Amino acid sequence: MQLPIQTVADLGLALRAARRSGKVRLDDLAQIAGVSKQFVSDVEYGKPTVQLGLVLKLLVEIGVTLSVNIPEESREEWERLLAKGGLPAQKGRKKRDVERAATIEPPQQKD
């Protein structure tokens, strides 16, 4: 099921719904993802300053996928950037993070 996500609160509700429907306790999800219970709670309640990387880790652990829709005119540039190795190297960025970003599939076009 696809849900429109426009705020951190929307994403938090989606995480909470997936966690509760899977009968996963908040502290169990926190332990599996390597974050604190407070962090999971902050995400579920829509705290706007949570770390995106950790949020994505929670979503993966609970089985929620996240995708973005970019304008079609951006697709060619996106593919060009991926062909060049993805994201530019940043101080502290690990090579595997750049390689993983390059494996993300472009969104499928709807017919």
Q: Where are the domains of the chain?
A: 8-62, 72-102
The answer to whether the predicted template modeling score (pTM) of the entire model surpasses 0.75 is: no
Query: Taken in order 65, 60, 9, 90, is the CA torsion positive or negative?
Result: negative
pLDDT digits over 14-58, tens only?
A: 999 999 999 999 999 999 999 999 999 999 999 999 999 999 999
d(C-alpha 48, C-alpha 82), whole Å: 29
**The architecture CATH gives domain 8-62:** Orthogonal Bundle (1.10)
Give the model's confidence band at 103: pLDDT under 50 very low, under 70 low, under 90 confident, else very high.
Answer: very low
Question: Which of 9-18, 80-89, 102-111 shows the lowest mean pLDDT across its residues?
Answer: 102-111
Contact 42, 54 (CB under 8 A): no
Model pLDDT, residue 34: 95
Give the model's confidence band at 109: pLDDT under 50 very low, under 70 low, under 90 confident, else very high.
Answer: very low
Integer Rg of the chain from CA: 16
